[in-house]
Structure 1
């Protein structure tokens, strides 16, 4: 009995000493956090930061770490069978100076990005702006129609049927029936037609998520601001758009722009589905296709990592530029 009492007393002392140590440590950390504002902010929100740890760990593991590994591998020769061998800037020099197909891929990607990026962004906004003025039920129906390409996985098959190279393709059938041509055009096997068709399809597919994002942004604008602006001298819809609508939609505009940049620079699946891989004379070859060629077919992972790094840096640079442009909206 006495031994049990002694054991209980020792356990109580241990719990008490642990509690005292915990309180003393918390007190010391509180004093330490008051020395700098950043420390204080972290200490006061420590519970929130602890809740973020699982996400940050997964983000680092599946996003940050692969980017760092790709950057490291871009300076090596690595074929998946042998250990990576450091070769310095050789991959980048070969890409820029001794790989004519990569230059073609860059040209095609830039053409697609320059046309589909701004044009798709503007079309998405204009359509969202116009449809936002419709009655609720009609607006919901039209929104679903424009968003449908994003949720229909095989939507690109429609364009393969439209530009089919036989007389049963919709484009050839229409042109033959109306007397514009006599023989079917090999749309996806003719070099000069491939890139324009890819641009059309990419524009059509880019409307979905961007359009929905901008619709949400337009719905979030406080209508009372338009009434106050009318009192302050805003006279027409264009002034309302520039001074009220767009400044209130900056988060949605930025999000939509980032999606558009990613879609424009990441074109690859569309060209493969339409024109095959590789396309005729590399007419539809993009940077992503070049990356897939060396990474997924030839297994030259160092060279593929250099391509991926260049694509990543380009996307970051364009993102910075878009942020500056959108930051001036409404000024």
Structure 2
């Protein structure tokens, strides 16, 4: 295991520690880092109004898409697992395909196009529900909702495959033993046998969904633009991209990354405690 730990320490642990150290400095990549203490963190929460907007958007996005997509991944996997092997393989491919499709954003941009030829505007105008096209991807009232919808559509990814694999590996004799111990229906089988047996896959899926929910940036940049109107679709990661790759204020960007890391870590620890109660 030594080669793995060496690579993990070099390319994961060391960069995280360097980022943490840089978060207490002013570093513009042209001059040596200059120690500023807690100034970057104070600036984030006291002076940076855009970060507070990004923080609110990220939490709202994560608390909606995270639980819904996690439950959806498991329910679809559970239902598909009951089907014959060939049909199961076909449906798995169909449901997993959107998460790896390269033209996803073009489809949704066409659907929510701001002119009268966009599918959504065309449908609403044909039925007389609106009189003029809605600026779906430019109006701050609709941006975040559309991003949440797109993310939910893309959510059947790695977690979905992990749940299917976990369901396939559940020992069938456990259900027979459960029937002898008083398990009478499928829901009791699910709660007392299936879910406790799948704890490793459930935890893996939770980590993936939490990471995906809190690190949203790509769909916002490609669909809405960067920056979005009134920062309505701004997230912590897009704020990090702004300061890290455009302004090159690496100390400040490291502080943003540290806050995001702490949020993800805390959410993962909370999820781990909740998963331990499954089957009790």
> Does the pair score TM above 0.5?
yes
Question: TM (normalized to structure 1)?
Answer: 0.83
CA distance in 2 between counterparts of 1:280 and 1:191 reads: 6
Give the structure 2 partner of residue 103 of structure 1.
52
- Kindly indicate whether residue 8 of structure 2 is the aligned counterpart of residue 62 of structure 1: no
Residue 168 (structure 2) aligned to one of 210, 219, 228: 219
Report the structure number with the largest CA radius of gyration: 1
Deviates more, 1:209-218 or 1:77-86: 209-218
Give the structure 1 partner of residue 113 of structure 2.
164
- Kindly indicate whether residue 257 of structure 2 is the aligned counterpart of residue 314 of structure 1: no
1:142-221 to 2 correspondence within 5 Å?
142-221=91-170
CA distance in 2 between counterparts of 1:82 and 1:181 reads: 56
Question: TM (normalized to structure 2)?
Answer: 0.98
- What is the CA-CA distance between 1:203 and the residue it aligns to? 1.1
- Kindly indicate whether residue 240 of structure 2 is the aligned counterpart of residue 294 of structure 1: no
Give the structure 2 partner of residue 118 of structure 1.
67
Deviates more, 1:98-107 or 1:144-153: 144-153
Deviations 1:101-146 (A, max 9, x none): 0000000000000000111101111111111111211111111011
- Kindly indicate whether residue 47 of structure 2 is the aligned counterpart of residue 91 of structure 1: no
CA distance in 1 between counterparts of 2:144 and 2:258 reads: 25
CA distance in 2 between counterparts of 1:135 and 1:178 reads: 42
Deviates more, 1:177-186 or 1:123-132: 177-186
Higher relative contact order (CA 8 A, sep 6+): 2
Structure 1: tracts of 5 or more residues without a match: 1-51
The answer to which structure has the higher helix fraction is 1
Residue 78 (structure 2) aligned to one of 125, 129, 143: 129
1:187 aligned counterpart, secondary structure: coil
Residue 141 (structure 1) aligned to one of 90, 111, 122: 90
